[in-house]
Amino acid sequence: TQENLSQASSSSLPVTRGVVEALRSEHDQDILAKRLASELALSDVLGKATL
């Protein structure tokens, strides 16, 4: 749902339905999902640090 996508997103890095669908079609889905989670966490930390 849109609410779940919003919760998974950071303020500067939105997670869209297209991103989720692209991940589903990748052979390295697990690795890419972990990388996305890492990038989202970093984006969130950097966003909070600039406040």
Residue 9, exposed/middle/buried by CB under 10 A (0-12, 13-18, 19+)?
A: middle
pLDDT at residue 10 in the model? 87
pLDDT at residue 47 in the model? 87
| Domain region containing 43 | 2-49
User: How many structural domains compose the chain?
Assistant: 1
Sorting pLDDT into bands at 50, 70 and 90, what band is 51? Answer: confident
pLDDT at residue 32 in the model? 95
Helix, strand, coil percentages, rounded to 5, for the chain: 70, 0, 30
Interatomic CA distance for residues 33 and 35, integer angstroms? 5
Sorting pLDDT into bands at 50, 70 and 90, what band is 50? Answer: confident
Question: pLDDT tens for residues 1-48?
Answer: 899 999 999 888 999 999 999 999 999 999 999 999 999 999 999 988
Interatomic CA distance for residues 43 and 24, integer angstroms? 23
Which residue from 45, 49, 40 is spatially nearest to 15, judged by alpha carbons? 40
